[in-house]
Amino acid sequence: MILRCLLFIVLLFSIAACSPIKPWVKPYERQKIADEIMSFERNPIADSYLHHVYDAREAARGGDGASGGGCGCN
């Protein structure tokens, strides 16, 4: 199920990659994206510790590696 979801998403990316893509959010429109409140991981060791607690109490692991805002705008 997880692999099928992933394949579907990769397929969507692949189709999108075949067409010419222009950045639809211009660099000068990214001031909100660059705000600290838009960070997936504002505090690395504090977030890492909480993930540690989840891992200790739950069987699930992985799939939570997001960090940063992805905009390359700072």
Partner 1 sequence: MAVINRLLLLALALASGFLQAAVLPDERIDVLYHGYDGGGAEINGPSILVRKNLGASVSVAANYYVDMVSSASIDVQATASPYSEERKENGISGQYLVDRSTISLGYTRSKENDYDASTYTFGIDQSFFGDLTTLGFGVSFGEDVVGQNTDPTYERNLERRKYSFNASQIVTKNLLASLSFDSVSDQCLDLTQDESCLNNPYRSVRYLSGTGGYLYQSELYPHTRNSDALGLRAIYYLPYRASVRAEVRQFSDSWGVDADNFELRYLHPYREQWLFEVKYRMYKQTGADFYSDLFPYRDAQNFLARDKELSPFSSTTIGLGVTYKVPAGFIPWFEKSTVNLNWDKFDIDYDDFRDARVSPTDYAAGEEPLYSLQADVIRFYLSFWF
Number of H helices, E strands in the chain: 2, 0
- For the segment 3-42, give every residue that binds partner 1 (CB under 8 A): 3, 5-6, 9, 13, 21-25, 27, 29-30, 32-33, 35-41
Minimum distance, C-beta of residue 14 to partner 1, in the bound complex (Å): 12
Long-range contacts (CB closer than 8 Å, 24 or more residues apart) made by 28-33: 30/71, 30/73, 33/69, 33/71, 33/73
By CB under 8 A, residue 50 contacts partner 1: yes
Tokens of 5: 């979801």
Enumerate binding residues for partner 1 (CB under 8 A).
1-3, 5-6, 9, 13, 21-25, 27, 29-30, 32-33, 35-41, 43-74
